[in-house]
Every structure is written in C-alpha cells, then in structure tokens.
Amino acid sequence: MPSKLPVLGSVFSDYFDFSTVSWIKVWEATKETLYMTSLSVASVFFLGLLLGLLLYETQKNDSVGALILYKVVAFLVNIFRSIPFIILIVLLIPFTKTLLGKITGPEAGLPALIFSAAPFYARLVESGFREVDRGVVEAAESMGASKWEVITKVYIPESLPNIISGITVTAISLVGYTAMAGVIGAGGLGNLAYLEGFQRSRPAVTLISTVIILIIVFTIQFIGDTGVRKIDKR
Amino acid sequence: MIVLEGIKKTYENKKGRFEALKTIDLTIKKGEIFGFVGYSGAGKSTLLRLINGLELPSQGTVTIDNKELSDLSKRAIRKERQSIGMIFQHFNLLWSRTVLENIMFPLEIANVTKEKRIKKAKELIELVGLSDKENAYPSQLSGGEKQRVGIARALANDPKVLLSDEATSALDPQTTDEVLKLLEKINKELNVTIILITHEMEVVRKICHRVAVMDSGEIVEEGPVLDVFKQPKHMVTKRFVKQDRKMDKKEMQEAMEELQVLYPEGDMVQILFQGSSVNLPIITEVSRETGVDINIIQGSIQSTHEVSVGTLVVQVLGAREKRQKALELFRSYPVEVEVLLNAK
C-alpha cells in the first residue's frame, strides 16, 4: 500500500499542472461548444415549438387527417427521443455528409443534436400547452379570436414559463450532447478533454474542460430560472 | 332580439347519443335580463353557447337581430361574437396579462388601434370601479375584482348582448350582490341585453326580468320572474323557489309541531304577499274582524328587481267557524294563502 500513495499524489498534482494547458486551444474549444450549443438550442427551440404545436393541435382535433398526422409525428418523436445520442450521431453520419459535405467540425454535430433534442422539447411544449386553462381558451374564442390568435395570444403567452423552463432543461442536455459529439469529431470541449486531456495524458486539460462546461451549464440554468421567475405572474 | 326556434342539440360519441337539448323555442327581448335556471346537466351551458355560436345546434335556428347564425361563415360568426360579450364562473382571465391588458384583449382581436384600446380599457376600468388596479395581475385580485375585470373585458367591444355563465357561483354572498348590482347598472345604463345561467334562484330573483326553468334539456316553465316566484307550477321550479325562500324546513316543522301541542285548535297558514300589499295591516284586521288570535311563526321579505315579496307563516287560533271566516278574509286581500296544517 505505501507505494500507492505517491502515485495518487502525482495524479492529484497532474490535475493542477496548468503548464500543460494550451489556453488558445481551450478558448477555441469553448467557442466551438458555445457555437454548437447556441445554434442547436435556437433550432431546437423553433422546431420543437412547431412540432409541439402540431402534436397538440392534431391530438385534440378529431378529423381522420389530424389523427393520422398525430400518429406519424408522435411515432417519429418517440423514435428519435429513444435513440441513444451516441448511436444517433453515427446513424446520421451519411445524412450529415450529404447535407454538409463533411462529418467533422462543429457544424457536423448540429444535425444529430437537433434531431435528438427537438422531439424531446416538442413533448415539453405539448404538455405546456395542455396545461393552459381551457376556460381561458374558450374566453378568447367567445371574443371571436381565430385559431392563430388563440395560439399566439393565449397558448404561447400562457404557457411561456413551461416553454422557457423546457428550453432550459433541453439546452443543458444539449451541452452534454455537444461534449459527446466532440469525441466523435465535432470539436469543442468534449473533443479537447478527450484528445488533449485523455489521449495525451494531461488531466489538467480535462479538469479545465469540465469546469468550463459546468460554468456554461450553471449560466444557462441561472438565465432560465431568472427568466421564468420574471414572467410567471400566476 | 334573440330568437331560438326548434333547437335540438345531440352529442354523439362511441358510447352513444346524448340529447343535451330537446326542442327549445324562446324569444329574448332587447334590453331585458333573462335568466335560465336549472340544476347542473340541465342544458343551460349548452344553450348559452348556442347564442354566441361556440356550439352549433343539431337542429333549429338561432337568430340574433334577424341574422341567422347557422347561415354565417366561420369568419362571420367570429365577427358576430365580437358583439356578444361573455363572462364566466371562473373568470377565465389571462394570468400573463395585467388588468388593463386583459381588458384590451378583445379589442386586439377586433383590430382596434392601440391608442383607442388603451382609452377604451381605461374607461371600462373606471366603470367597473377598479381604477387603482389597472396594472395589477389577476393573481393579485380577489374573486369579486376578477369578475369585474371579466365584465369590463366582456364590454370592451360595446356588445349588444352579455352572456353570463354562472358568473356569481364562485363568489361569496356579498360579492355576488355587488356583481349583480354592476350587471343591473350595465343593463340600465348601456342598454345591454343580459342572458344569464345560474343554479341560484336568488340571482334570478334579484336582477332578472324573465326566467326560464330548465330540466333535462327542456324549458319546463317560463315567464316574468314575479309570476314564476308567486306561482311556481313545475316541480323543479317549486324546488328552486323553496330553496330560495331559505325557510329552514326542519326548524319550522319543529316550531309548528310545538305550537300544535300548545294550541291544538289552530290552523297553520302561509301568506305570500307582494308590493303594495306589504303595507296592509292584514293580520290586525283579520284578528279584529273575526275574533281569532294570530301567532306569528316565521316571516321574511325578499326583494326582486321591481317589488318585494314577503312570506309570513302564522297560526290562526279560535273556534272552527271563526277560523273559517278568518281564512276567507285573508283570501279577500291581494295575497296568496296556503293552509300548511289544519287544526287537530
């Protein structure tokens, strides 16, 4: 046992050996992670909102067309939500290649990120809409509001806290996904931690990557929580 | 003027058919306060929603000011709804909007310019007496205040008709009175026709001009409120009227039994009087003329929107012929007399 202690000590000190850290690479990787996260969050937000709306509207409508559309969308949403992210990336490689002409770099991570998170967010949006008071919708209809007005003036504003907290949760898991995508070659902090930190045995780089990712996550959580608190007047 | 002709409404689903409304024919006059009263499931809500086209009849027609609703396109019905305000039991305000913004909501839908929206909303806030609350959110208001916002919102597009869906059912008695007074004021000052549904006969008595009593999808009795109150015909109506009289039946029964033991020779008589007859010294006159003694057991006065209606339960004591005479004398006054219990 005595021989193990010095080893542990050296591991510990390795984590804080910042001389091995290339700060330029860290900065580059952080920018890539932020780039992937913000673009995917923005796309997931709009796509998820649309899908969620589609799910909600087709489900309460009792025409045959709506029912079929609902079944199809719900099926696809469930499929994409269930595929483990790491497999989805690999699965989508041919698609990404056709779409972007390459399979590495931050852009190449986007299709998989969006495909996996949008269905998840769509479900959150749908359940948010379902929580909107039916009576308020009826009140709007009694004033002569059209379907579109009911969506934009009642459903969205009345479920906004759910929409915001939903995108916060989604954004946080997207940060995690970008790290995974990074390992496969999309760049970013996950890539840095794996290539520079693990493969070159520089634990300090891994530690730095971890800390930066935590900071990003906490920032997103803080912005989300503050936003919800500000708008929620219930 | 609103005319309902041969209305039927049937809901169909996998489990079967449900007749919510069976043959409704009714005319509601301009400027009146018309009440529908009935227990839950009687079809009142469905009927109310036929008037603003939120529900369409399976059969029959709804005509508002000579415009038949079923003839109109969806867009035209929406346009028509802007001239029909609606208030709700649970207020149905948008929590995300302030009082002012809630009232501006229907004006946005009617495409009124922002400047006019604010001006109109502020006028209405004044009308319903919430001037200091215009920037409050619904969650900061009491039930009565929320309903005032609901009323202001329903009036935003200067409607000709106001539909009230159990608007006071979630409020305490005092707030109910305040809201009813406000509705009465709106009816008088703005000449808005008000159609309300309720399960509280008290609401009908206080502000309605005419009433229709509903039971299992049918109108079982209809007429001026006073008539229906004085002489309820249908069983359901009688139950509603009795419930409103708030005579504690059990308590009165006990009192009557007690008195019967004490004065076995007495008749128990209920006298219903209204308006001008309230002022007549009926009891003393009958007592003096016929020589009977009269025990007062219970009395109450209720006001309708035009006159007061009173109920008096008395015990008439004396010899048989005297009591007979007293009863005849009571009946000669403009009151209604009912013998509840004969002497033993």
Report the relative pairing of strands B336-341 and B16-28 from DSSP bridges.
Answer: unpaired
Contact B94 A158 (CB under 8 A): yes
Whether residues B239 and B279 fall in one domain: no
Domain termination residue (choose one: B244, B267, B302): B244
Span B31-87, pLDDT tens digits:
999 999 999 889 999 999 999 999 999 999 999 998 898 889 999 999 999 999 999
Residue B280 contacts A where some CB pair is shorter than 8 Å: no
- The answer for A 140-159 residues in CB contact with B (under 8 A) is 140-146, 149, 153-154, 157-158
Single-letter code of the amino acid located at A230:
K
Residue in B closest to A158 by C-alpha: B96
Angle at B21 between CA B15 and CA B25, to 5 degrees: 160
Q: Is residue A7 part of a domain?
A: no
- Give the residue numbers spanning the domain of A58: 22-231
CATH of residue B233's domain is 3.40.50.300
Selected residue with higher pLDDT from B271 and A40: A40
Domain count, chain B: 2
pLDDT band at A7 (very low <50, low <70, confident <90, very high): low
Total CB pairs under 8 A between chain A and B: 64
Domain count, chain A: 1
CA A120 vs CA A47, A76, A117, A217, B276: distances in Å: 11, 11, 5, 18, 72
Contact B95 A141 (CB under 8 A): no
Whether residues B163 and B258 fall in one domain: no
The mean pLDDT of A157-175, rounded to a whole number, is 96
In sequence order, what are the residues at sequence separation of 6 or more whose Cβ sits closer than 8 angstroms to the Cβ of residue B294? B283, B286, B287, B314, B315, B316, B317, B326
Report the relative pairing of strands B218-224 and B210-215 from DSSP bridges.
Answer: antiparallel
Instruction: Give me the helices (H) in chain B, please.
Output: 44-51, 74-81, 99-109, 114-127, 143-155, 173-190, 201-207, 225-230, 235-245, 249-262, 282-290, 320-332
Which span out of A19-23, A109-113, A157-161, B333-337 was modeled with the highest average pLDDT? Answer: A157-161
Domain termination residue (choose one: B225, B244, B263): B244
Angle at B59 between CA B55 and CA B60, to 5 degrees: 95
Residue % of chain B over a pLDDT of 90: 57
**Token digits for A37?**
């996260």
Contact B92 A141 (CB under 8 A): no
Whether residues B233 and B286 fall in one domain: no
What's the pLDDT at B104? 97
Contact A160 B96 (CB under 8 A): yes
Q: Is pLDDT at A140 greater than 70 in this prediction? A: yes
Distance of CA B23 to the CA centre of its chain: 22
Helices A23-60 & A106-130, crossing angle to 10 degrees? 40
Report ipTM (2 d.p.): 0.84
Q: Is pLDDT at B15 greater than 90 in this prediction? A: no
* Residues in B touching A142 (Cβ below 8 Å): 52, 54, 81, 84, 86, 163
CATH of residue B276's domain is 3.30.70.260
Report the relative pairing of strands B33-38 and B210-215 from DSSP bridges.
Answer: parallel
Q: Is residue A95 part of a domain?
A: yes
Q: Is residue A216 part of a domain?
A: yes
The mean pLDDT of A192-203, rounded to a whole number, is 84
Residue A131 contacts B where some CB pair is shorter than 8 Å: no
- Give the residue numbers spanning the domain of B328: 249-341
Whether residues B231 and B253 fall in one domain: no
Whether residues B207 and B328 fall in one domain: no
Span B197-238, pLDDT tens digits:
999 988 998 999 999 999 999 999 999 998 888 888 999 998
CB–CB of A144/B153 below 8 Å?
A: no
Interface test mutation site (partner B, options A62, A129, A136, A143, max chain B beta carbons within 10 A): A143
Q: Is residue A136 part of a domain?
A: yes
Residue in A closest to B92 by C-alpha: A136
CATH of residue A45's domain is 1.10.3720.10
Q: Is residue A12 part of a domain?
A: no
Q: Is pLDDT at A3 greater than 60 in this prediction? A: no
Q: Is residue A176 part of a domain?
A: yes
Q: Is pLDDT at B340 greater than 70 in this prediction? A: yes
The whole-angstrom distance between A227's CA and the closest CA on chain B is: 14
Which span out of A20-24, A121-125, B256-260 was modeled with the highest average pLDDT? Answer: A121-125
Whether residues B48 and B64 fall in one domain: yes
Residue B94 has its nearest CB partner, among A136, A142, A149, at A136
Contact B86 A142 (CB under 8 A): yes
What's the pLDDT at B326? 87
Q: Is pLDDT at A12 greater than 80 in this prediction? A: no
Domain termination residue (choose one: B181, B213, B244): B244
What's the pLDDT at B97? 96
Whether residues B33 and B175 fall in one domain: yes
Q: Is residue A97 part of a domain?
A: yes
pLDDT band at A50 (very low <50, low <70, confident <90, very high): very high
**Token digits for A227?**
């936003």
